[in-house]
Amino acid sequence: MPDLDKYFLTAMQLVKKAGQLTRAAFEQPVVVVHTKASSTDLVTETDRAVETLLITGLKQEFPECK
């Protein structure tokens, strides 16, 4: 049986870091915005940074998971 507490605690730590990243971005005077699939599908540098943080953190902690 997987250690659900470890999964939960790891996820919570990563989400807190992502929240700090997001909060810091609100204090920046300039926001870079890109489009993804269409002109209405927007993504910011903060979105990309949060995604990288979460994926990298989960892969490091749980390399056996996809």
pLDDT tens digits, one per residue of 6-53: 999 999 999 999 999 999 988 888 777 788 877 777 788 889 999 999
Long-range contacts of 5-9 (CB under 8 A, 24+ apart): 6/61, 7/62
Domain ranges of the chain: 32-66
* 0.85 surpassed by pTM: no
Residue 25 has a pLDDT of: 87
In this predicted structure, the answer to whether residue 1 has a pLDDT above a threshold of 60 is no
Measure CA 35 to chain center: 18
